[in-house]
Structure 1
Amino acid sequence: MKQLVQRLWHGALRRIPQSWKDAFPSIPPATPRNLWLALAAAVAIQNIAVFQSSQTEHTTVFALLVWGGAVICMEDQFETLRPQPSAAGLCVGSLLLLWVLARSALILHWDGLLFALAPLGGLALALMGDRPGQLGRFRDPLLCLMALPAFALLMRVLPEAPISLFTAWGSSLWLGALGLDVVVNGRNVMLPGGGVQVLGPCNGLDMMAQILCVAVIFMLAFPIRSIRSRSLLLLAAPLIGLICNTFRIALLALFAGYGYSKGSWLFDFFHKDTGSLIFSGVAVLMFGMIYMRLLERELPPLPSSPPRQEEWP
């Protein structure tokens, strides 16, 4: 029966035109390396899906960024990856991965354990990928995944009130630079036609923590040797996030001052919808430009080509 099915299958494949076969990529063979990569991709997709279903868009984008950073830290080893786990490591990694999948099904809106599931899943993949003595090759990807629990910790540790007051004051500077009659009273940014109140979820704390964790990911993926440059980047990262958020609050206050307050499409789009991600993207872009500029300073200059000698007839 098995041989009959195989003959029918191969016969059906031979009837498919070669042009159709060339249009579709061939399925990679089921080698240990390909199976491990497929499992790693499934774990990452499942973790990001849990973030998407239970967290805000900002947090989901950050989780996607963290997993992307882990891939960048690991991509140099993909070609030479040959999974050879020990029996104990394979058992422990499999059990840990099953627990991570089971625990993901119980995640509620703000479950602090969610942010630890990514590094735990990464550890399970590492145990299933190599022997315990060779796990050092997974150090950078695991450190990159640790940015998720670090993000949750920063969100709890960083003070909310001073950041909210500074955000309100900073946004008033941009409005004043436009020549508008702006008044700041604590958390309130008021224009003649209306204003906004800077509360905890809007003060840019999440953007500050996000850019700071992005800085750590960049340093793992594209290392900078200079301690001075690294210190400068770690100081600049949260400041960039804070400044970009003051632009967002100033824009919201401007909308409210012209009658487009909370409830209008324009206000809500930049307040809590996809429009707020634009400012996160601008912050990441600004930090990336500064990082690349400092990284270029450490790169050796390109060898100059010898001057061409003109040939005389």
Structure 2
Amino acid sequence: MNNLKLVKDPKYWLLAIAASLITLHLHLSWRSENADLLGISLLFWVAVSALIWRKRDSLNLESEVFSTIFGALLIGFVLFKSTHLYGYDLFLRVSPFISILGLSLLASGVKGLKQYWQEILLVAFMAVPPGVLSIFIDLSLLTAKFASFVLWILGFQVSNSGVMVTLPTGGIKVGAGCDGFGIILQLLGLSFICLVMFGHHLWHRILVPIASVILAFVVNGMRVALMAILAALSNQEAFEYWHTGDGSLIFSMLAVFMFGVFCHFTVLRTAGARG
């Protein structure tokens, strides 16, 4: 009898569907060989799951026919599209938003969507690809100037002309792929997660996003400075390692670690004292 009740309980069906969608998305993100996407997807899914779990007892799980059908169609579309993905695809950034929206409609209908505004906002942030921001905001020039400043501080004979960072024996051109939007979006997303889960003060909501952008920009500028040195040394193998290889992930991990330390001392300690 207990097993039969579990089968009939819509909560467990919703949980099973959600777990399947999350697992599918993480698998496809891993298969795409895009480490940045996999890392941020994992963090966002953990945050969304934690938020839902925290308010599980207060959720109103009542949906009407239209919302149920529309939610099922959205989930069906995600499943269908996912079977036709090969490698990295922009849909991998959009699918979490469609999945959460579909699950919310299945669970609580249109009227109950407001219960999930935090989760929907988080996954909507994931849908923004770094390349889109580069169209509207060009950070290449500022990144080149900052990298040149770092090299000058370190004692190198460096010159800067536009997006060119030049040393006596070589240099680099800072393009859109090196402007730092990838790391900026990653840390900005982490700041939103931190604020949604632990941010209770207005100064948190102002300071944390600004700090995430500044920290990401600085770390990326240091990576660009390193690549300029390697280009000047004509070390192509090391240059590719830090440019597109695992070395770029090390800087991402460094930025995440530093931002985690910052959030610990500015937000989490305050939240602990408040609790």
> The TM-score by the shorter chain falls in which range?
0.7 to 0.9
Give the one of 150, 173, 190 matched to 1:214: 190
- Partner residue, 2:107: 129
SS in 2 for 1:179: coil
Q: Does 1:149 align with 2:124?
A: no
Matched-pair identity in %: 25
Q: What secondary structure does 1:281 align onto?
A: helix
Q: Which amino acid aligns with 2:253?
A: G
Q: Work out whether residues 33 and 82 of structure 1, in 8 Å CA contact, stay in contact via their aligned partners in 2.
A: no
Shift of 1:108: 7.4
Equivalent residues of 1:155, 1:206 under 8 A apart: no
Post-superposition Cα deviations, 1:91-122, rounded to whole Å, max 9, x if no partner, equal: 22212110122233455778655533211110
Distance 1:156 1:185, change over 3 A: closer
Of 223, 229, 251, which residue of structure 2 is paired with 1:254?
229
Q: Distance in 1 between matches of 2:129 and 2:260?
A: 19
Q: Tell me the equivalent position of 2:241.
A: 269
Distance in 1 (alpha carbons) for counterparts of 2:196 and 2:274: 24
Q: Deviations over 1:244-275 (max 9, x none)?
A: 101111111222222312xx1x2222111222
Residue in 2 that maps onto 1:10: none
Bigger radius of gyration among the two: 1
CA contact (8 A) 1:183 1:191 kept: yes
Match of 1:46 among 19, 24, 27: 24
Q: Distance in 1 between matches of 2:42 and 2:127?
A: 14
Mapped to 1, the partners of 2:52 and 2:134 lie a distance apart of 30
State whether residues 94 and 127 of structure 2, in contact with CA within 8 Å, keep that contact through their aligned partners in structure 1.
Answer: yes
Give matches, 1:116-265, under 5 Å: 116-151=94-129, 155-156=133-134, 158-160=136-138, 163-226=139-202, 228-261=203-236, 264=237
The alignment's C-alpha RMSD in Å is 3.0
Could you tell me which residue of structure 2 aligns to residue 14 of structure 1? none
Does 2:253 correspond to 1:281?
yes
Pair 221,165 (structure 1): closer, same or farther in 2 beyond 3 Å:
same
Q: Distance in 2 between matches of 1:251 and 1:236?
A: 23
Give 1:279 deviation, angstroms.
1.4
Within the candidate set 91, 99, 108, 2:77 is matched to: 99
User: Counterparts of 2:83 and 2:268 in 1: how far apart (Å)?
Assistant: 44
Is this contact kept in 2: 1:33–1:81, CA < 8 A? no
Question: Residues 130 and 181 of structure 2 are in contact (CA less than 8 Å); yes or no, is this contact kept in structure 1?
Answer: no
Distance in 2, Cα, partners of 1:159 & 1:301: 39
SS state of the match for residue 242, structure 2? helix
Q: Which shifted more, 176-185 or 248-257?
A: 176-185
Alpha-carbon distance change, 174 to 281 in structure 1, aligned in 2, over 3 angstroms: same
Partner Cα separation in structure 2 for residue 64 and residue 241 of structure 1: 19
Tell me which residue corresponds to 1:89: 67
Q: 1:301 to 1:218 in 2, by over 3 A?
A: closer
Runs of 5+ consecutive residues of structure 2 not aligned to the other structure: 1-5
Distance 1:159 1:109 in 2: 28
Report how far residue 213 of structure 1 moved: 2.4
Q: Distance in 2 between matches of 1:285 and 1:157?
A: 29
Query: More helix per residue: 1 or 2?
Result: 2
Gaps of 5+ in 1: 1-28, 304-313
Distance in 2 of aligned mates of 1:132 and 1:45? 26
User: What letter corresponds to residue 245 of structure 2 in structure 1?
Assistant: D
SS in structure 2 opposite 1:184?
Answer: strand
Q: TM-score, normalised by structure 2?
A: 0.83
